[in-house]
Amino acid sequence: MSFARTEYHGTVSFADAVFAGRKVVFAGGDFFGDISFRRAAFDARDISFDRPKAWVGVYFDWDDSPTAKPSHISPTPWPPVPAESASELAS
């Protein structure tokens, strides 16, 4: 399942959502607002939040303890660092 390069602006909640399957990709996403993944189930084998366009106001259950982030979710270290250029977003 791919949400790559999707824009998440304003208030967005994934509470109680289940992300399952082999791979879920949020890479290159534009996260800006009040974006909550609290109470979401990350059941896919591989989940990527690598190289976001922006990363402002994004919340997860492990925010208070980054070491509690499941190991199948990238990047590591957490939180993701926004891409520095358009070419980096395209890769």
86 neighbors 63 (Cβ within 8 angstroms): no
At 16, the pLDDT band (50, 70, 90 cuts) reads very high
Element (H, E) at 88: helix 86-90
pTM of the model: 0.89
Quote the tokens at residue 62. Answer: 């492990």
CA 33 to mean position of chain CA atoms: 13
List the beta bridge partners of residue 14: none
Q: What percent of the chain has pLDDT over 90?
A: 89
Residue 39 has pLDDT above 70, yes or no: yes
DSSP state of 77: S
Count of positions (residues) in the chain: 91
Q: Each residue of 1-11: pLDDT tens digit?
A: 999 999 999 99
CA pair distance 45, 60, nearest whole angstrom: 18
